[in-house]
Structure 1
Amino acid sequence: MTSVFRRVALIGKYQPQGARAHDPVMDEIGDFLSAQGCEVVLEQSSAGCGDAAVPPRACRHPVMSVEEIGEQCDLGLVVGGDGTMLGIGRQLAPFGVPLIGINRGRLGFITDIALDEYQDALRPMLAGEYDEDHRSLIQASVMRDGQSVFEAVAMNDVVVNRGATSGMVELRVSVGKAFVANQRADGLIIATSTGSTAYALSAGGPLLHPSIPGWIMVPIAPHTLSNRPILLPDAEEVTIEVVNDRDASANFDMQSLASLRQGDRIVVRRSDFHVRFLHPRGWSYFDTLRRKMHWNKGDN
């Protein structure tokens, strides 16, 4: 069988076992891709070839940086958990490289192919039989005295949190030109549909289907119980201003700005790019929710 993807990048968290220089799982998947007619390359950090214990000549496939993968590869195969996919998805989104996720982590909401089923799932996908799913990204900036002091892209969420030893943080929230409210809470989450199954869910937010062009705004332990999660259109900018100075911090997926000051504004807008996920033919978002959330478990 000839793959419709000529060059495939293998991306994952390098996990050598014992005295072995190679990660046997990554090696096995790389060999499988080669057997399907793909030219396999390894993402630099995934290869482990940057480790002094693993000289470059020991790498079984050519090694590329993320930028080189974006420019030269037809597909990224991500082996790991959702955190691995979040990181590479943000970086490859501007290049439009599609991604397939093989779950080597725990939950696997966006790395949805089970490790022990990857061969059966990948064979038809590599032949062109797959469903495509696009996920939006957040572009966020921290503005201070009219200047941007931090910028980041997030696939899951933007979170403003109170300091570790402080009381509630007070935040002034606007959507577009409209003032929404002053929020007094432990923090505030602006989440994409992808992030609706992450921190926002544990804070009481709703699940948001990926086809809906919106974000959810979820207060964390709000002072007023009537302060509830709200669905917002992602065509409008959301501005979060720090009203009081309580050692608040901002987090953009796994990228953090440790300290915010009174008057700082976190400006959130829809990114110009999106992440392309490929799934086995017949994939359903609701199937993923049932499986990962254990809905109907025990029902006949």
Structure 2
Amino acid sequence: MQSRFQHIALIGKYHAPPSAEVRQQSIVAFSQIASYVEARGGTAYLEQETANFTGMDHYPTLSLDEVGKRCDLAIVLGGDGTMLGVGRELAKYNTPLVGINQGRLGFVTDIPLQTFLAPLSAILAGEYEEEIRSMIHALVIRDGECVFQALAFNDVVVNRGGTSGMVELRVEVDGQLVANQRADGLIIATPTGSTAYALSVGGPIVHPALACWVMAPIAPHTLSNRPIVVPDTQEISIEVIGGRDIAANFDMQSLASILRGDKILVRSAPHKTRFLHPRGWNYYTTLRKKLGWNEGGITP
């Protein structure tokens, strides 16, 4: 039986050298996947950095840009950080992603490494649930000029340095003042990021199908300053009024030193990311499994 997807890229954790155990797991898994793809009449490619780290040089290799241009599907082996990094790069190509969980939590890499072949086989045959996730496009504006910009899958965080006091921020949504606030910082999270840093400061869990953002202050001076959910069709402006050693973090990957008077503009990114999940997948099952919501209760 021929696969619905003919050109398939295999991508692993490549931002840092993997441990010997992770490297060996990757080699075994990618070898099995590649053999299965080719047995069904498809072509398996290794992403270039993944091939370098695993030492698997007997398959054709592609850069991430080439993956987006040439492949029907990307299979990502790793944790959520790996998946989100790949998602940021491939969103502009509308390349669907499948995640095999080699990490710990796995909100978006939801196929277990130990039993990946059966659900992956079904997906390759066209049996899957498709999910679309949005991203943030953030810009740092200084003296009227954009000095830094980045995509964020989870969140944009403006916060103080480790030894400095609170930051003072003026927050507007579509030009309307929301608050002048003093706090340790402010998180702007996508629905995907609502289960990340924003959750730890009291933000709500937001279903990924909702078109919105969470604005969640970090240790605000005024305790009534609470998280708020706003439409992602509106632009958020965060102006730095006061504070020292301030940074802006974009998915905790890209950093920019922020000066007094700088503005961080948060907009909806022009591209969205496509995830393919095994048939029967739903978000609430993921929450129950990852957050332990059934502990002490009746197992469904």
Whether the TM-score (by the shorter chain) exceeds 0.5 is yes
Which residue number in structure 1 is paired with residue 34 of structure 2?
Answer: 30
Q: How far off is 1:13 after superposition?
A: 1.6
1:112 aligns with 2:110: yes
Rounded to whole Å, the distance in 2 between the matches of 1:154 and 1:135 is: 12
Aligned length, in residue pairs: 293
Gaps of 5+ in 1: none
| Contact 1:16/1:24 (8 A) holds in 2 | no
Q: How far off is 1:38 after superposition?
A: 2.4
1:274 aligns with 2:278: no
Report Cα offsets for 1:167-226 as digits up to 9, x if no partner. 110110000020100121111000000000111111111000011110000001111110
Q: How far off is 1:30 after superposition?
A: 2.5
Rounded to whole Å, the distance in 2 between the matches of 1:95 and 1:195 is: 22
Which residue number in structure 2 is paired with residue 182 of structure 1?
Answer: 180
Choose which of 136, 141, 144 in structure 1 pairs with 2:142.
144
TM-score of the two chains, using structure 2 as the length reference: 0.93
| Contact 2:160/2:243 (8 A) holds in 1 | no
| Contact 1:10/1:40 (8 A) holds in 2 | yes
Rounded to whole Å, the distance in 1 between the matches of 2:290 and 2:36 is: 27
1:191 aligns with 2:189: yes
Report Cα offsets for 1:47-98 as digits up to 9, x if no partner. 126x9xx5xxx61211100000000000000000000011000000000000
Rounded to whole Å, the distance in 2 between the matches of 1:44 and 1:254 is: 24
Choose which of 42, 48, 51 in structure 2 pairs with 1:44.
48
Report Cα offsets for 1:100-139 as digits up to 9, x if no partner. 0000000000101111121110111111111100000100
1:291 aligns with 2:289: yes
Report Cα offsets for 1:238-270 as digits up to 9, x if no partner. 000000131110000133334210000000000
Which residue number in structure 1 is paired with residue 161 of structure 2?
Answer: 163
Which residue number in structure 1 is paired with residue 124 of structure 2?
Answer: 126
Rounded to whole Å, the distance in 1 between the matches of 2:217 and 2:20 is: 43
Rounded to whole Å, the distance in 2 between the matches of 1:223 and 1:231 is: 20
Structure 1 residues 297 and 34, CA gap change in structure 2 (3 angstroms):
farther
**Residues 46-61 of structure 1 correspond to what in structure 2 (within 5 A)?**
46-48=50-52, 54=55, 59-61=57-59
Which residue number in structure 1 is paired with residue 20 of structure 2?
Answer: 17
Q: How far off is 1:16 after superposition?
A: 6.9
Which residue number in structure 2 is paired with residue 100 of structure 1?
Answer: 98
Rounded to whole Å, the distance in 2 between the matches of 1:41 and 1:254 is: 29
Letter in 1 for 2:221: H
TM-score of the two chains, using structure 1 as the length reference: 0.93
Name segments (4+ residues, structure 1) moved above 2 Å.
14-20, 22-38, 254-258
Q: 122-131 or 249-258: which moved more? A: 249-258
Choose which of 202, 209, 213 in structure 1 pairs with 2:211.
213
Percent identity between matched residues is: 57
Gaps of 5+ in 2: none
Q: How far off is 1:44 after superposition?
A: 1.0
Rounded to whole Å, the distance in 1 between the matches of 2:4 and 2:124 is: 6
Which residue number in structure 1 is paired with residue 250 of structure 2?
Answer: 252
Rounded to whole Å, the distance in 2 between the matches of 1:126 and 1:257 is: 37
| Contact 1:16/1:23 (8 A) holds in 2 | no
Letter in 2 for 1:210: P
